[in-house]
Structure 1
Amino acid sequence: MPRPLARVLTLLELLQSGGTRTVSELADRLGVDERTVRRYAQQLVDLDIPVESVRGRYGGYRLGPGYRMPPLMLNDDEALAVLLSLSTDRASDTAGETARGTATAKIRRVLPERLRRRLDAVLGSLAFTESPGRTPTAPDPAILLPISDAVHHHRPVSIRYTAADGHRTERTLHPYGIVAHAGRWYVTAADLSSGEDRTFRLDRITDARTLPGSFDPPLDPAPAERVLTALATAPHRHEVTLRIQAPPEHIHTRLPPGLATVTAPSPPDDWSHVTLRVTQLDWLPAVLASLDRPFIIDGPAELCGLVEEFAARLADFARRSPGL
């Protein structure tokens, strides 16, 4: 696209965002002088686009009221961000679901076929876990697009990865799926470097490119379950083992699957076995109290002491007189 034409279209996009834009602001955004801005505005008028000139101290240009916007002009990153935002918005009301569906359909209709195929590959590769209140932010498209393409077409992918300790490696993966969980994005894959199935955070990948060839994925890759299992069994400072007199679904309301592994009780026993691997223990007493179910701490002993201290504080608070 010739550069002057691209700037004219950018001017139209700026005016479409609403309000009056000063000539100096537009000149700065477009990287041209104010005289050139006026020439671009006149070109839009010549195309029957109602660009109005506003005089005065805060004058500039704006679009005429009631002007019907032309079809969306989105680049690849913008289209991906919009569709991912619609997909990750998990509001439960029916009206919201309908609005998201129609908005997605409208955007897809104006996308070029090339971009539509790439976005379909992304959306078809995603899985979402239940993580209330934490909507995942879309990752860098330069990382997400090649990895989702590799998932969709069963192709190997090469990545550069920075671990939590800062160690950097280059790896070749056979990716099974992409998962959004608790505000983060993960890819679950067979790591050819270690010969094991692994889970990698997308925000720690600095480069990703698909490789020639193909692979056969597992019959049931279940990427979301793999990510939750990997998170719940990751090595941490403390391994906590508990028995809680409650079914797994009740326990998971406070200790989600990505944090705790829960083994359901076998009748007539009604105690679930729970395992957590955590870095800090100080938050657990309040969580265990919020379950409002009998529990037994098998380890570590340090947690028993923290629970006793927490209970003593609650008892002290309850004994205080009003106004103290």
Structure 2
Amino acid sequence: MARPTSRVLTLLELLQSGGTRTVAELADRLGVDERTVRRYVQHLLELDVPVEAVRGRYGGYRLARGFRTAPLMLSDEEALEVVLGLAAARRAGSSTASATANETAFAKVRRLLPERLVRRLDAVLETAEYTDGPHENATPDAAVLLTVAEAVREHRPVSLRYGEAPQRRSLHPYGLVSHAGRWYVTGLDVGRGESRTFRLDRITWARSEAGTFRPPAGFDAAQHVLDGMASAPYRHPVVLIVEATEPEIRRRLPASVARLEPLTGDGRRFRVEIRAERLDWLPALLAQLDRPFVIETPAELRTLVAELAARLAQWADAGSATRT
């Protein structure tokens, strides 16, 4: 289903084609009722678009004589930054007023951009998935992000170069994901015959190829990226048994860090698997869980937790002695 903003912009395009359009005609073209058309016209008026009402048997709406929408002179990179910024603000918006301001700002920017660029930006907005709240994203090369987004939307293969490797890789991109301030594309690495996830800021070149593919039914790109991060090979495989609910655990151990396996039917006891390059950050984090846990592996982590507990007890006793 088209979003209201999209229909408002379609209405503007219809009026820009010239002449007077009847309410019935506009309703038919937009797939809405006549009352909604009038509401969309009011939205255009609020955006300072001079829409005139024409009375009479053949009346309807038209744009005021001489009205032109000047092109917005932004590079692809600038336009992408603006649109992603507005999209992030939309996700972070906490009030109706801020959501409305964001929508009108987005509509103004979108209708002033060249159609070629609008189609590419729409591909990003339509395909992007987010694993968490807004972050200060490290935006990758605009050409790479726009190319990959179009390939995801149209189910087209993409050739790319990754990192410093000279050879090209062929990818069937299933999804575009923003996670913790970075962008990822995940899909089938055709050459290796396996699913892979690539960081977009490490892709040095990308080009859409001929043909199409069919992505797996029900594929969850965001979850696939999170699962891959949680199961990536690191130096220390950590296994815990934690007596807590999933929300309590996830407050400290997000899906990108830990995999959970329920051990009881009531959802209050989990096996937690973590892959860690270092163990020094885990004792304090486990203390913050404030829930009973057992360390199955590694033994080194048990030692670190015991040492932290001893230090905390020592500092607490020292503070008590000072007061007395």
Normalised by the shorter chain, which TM-score bucket?
A: 0.7 to 0.9
Aligned to 1:304: 302
CA contact (8 A) 1:91 1:97 kept: no
Opposite residue 140 of structure 2, the aligned amino acid is P
Q: How does 1:205-216 map to 2 (within 5 A)?
A: 205-216=203-214
CA 1:115 to 1:71, structure 2 compared with 1: closer, same or farther past 3 Å? closer
Counterparts of residues 210-249 of structure 1 (less than 5 Å): 210-249=208-247
Give the letter aligned to residue 81 of structure 2.
A
Structure 2 residue identity aligned to 1:117? R
Q: Are 1:82 and 2:82 an aligned pair?
A: yes
1:97 matched to which residue of 2? 99
Q: Which residue of 2 aligns with 1:313?
A: 311
Contact residue 247 and residue 265 of structure 1 kept, 8 A? no
Of 104, 121, 124, which aligns to 2:123?
121
Secondary structure at 1:136 match in 2: coil
Given that 2:139 and 2:201 are in contact with CA atoms closer than 8 Å, whether structure 1 keeps it comes out as no
| Maintained 8 Å contact 2:156/2:211 | yes
Q: Which residue of 2 aligns with 1:189?
A: 187
Q: TM-score, normalised by structure 1?
A: 0.73
Contiguous gaps of at least 5 residues in structure 1:
1-69
Matched, 1:295 2:293: yes
Q: Is the 8 A contact 1:157 1:175 kept in 2?
A: yes
Deviation at 1:71, TM superposition (A): 6.5
TM-score by length of 2: 0.73
| Alpha-carbon distance in structure 1 between the residues aligned to 2:156 and 2:141 | 20
Check 1:279–1:268 CA distance in 2 against 1; reply closer, same or farther (3 A cut).
Answer: same
Distance in 2 (CA, whole Å) between partners of 1:274 and 1:106 is 48
CA distance in 1, matches of 2:260, 2:222: 16
- Name the residue aligned to 2:108: 106
Aligned length: 250
For 2:120 and 2:300, locate their aligned partners in 1 and report how far apart those are by CA, in whole Å: 51
Question: Cα 1:152–1:251, aligned 2, differ >3 Å: closer, same or farther?
Answer: same
What per-residue deviation string (whole Å, max 9, x for no partner) do you get for residues 194-251 of structure 1?
1011111111111111111111111212110110011001110010000100111211
In 2, the alpha carbon distance for the partners of 1:305 and 1:203 equals 39
Alignment deviations for residues 150-187 of structure 1 (CA, whole Å, 9 cap, x no partner): 1111110011112xxx6665210000111010111110
Match of 2:284 among 283, 286, 294: 286
Show structure 2 runs of 5+ residues with no match.
1-69
Sequence identity of aligned pairs in percent?
51
CA shift in 2, pair 1:113/1:71, >3 Å: closer
Q: CA RMSD in A?
A: 1.9
For the residues of structure 2 that align with 1:99 and 1:294, how far apart are their CA atoms? Answer: 47
* CA contact 1:247–1:264 (8 Å) conserved in 2: no
Alpha-carbon distance change, 289 to 169 in structure 1, aligned in 2, over 3 angstroms = farther
The 3-state SS of whatever aligns with 1:216 is coil
Q: 1:257 aligns with which of 246, 251, 255?
A: 255
Distance 1:96 1:269, change over 3 A: closer
What's the CA shift for 1:97? 2.6
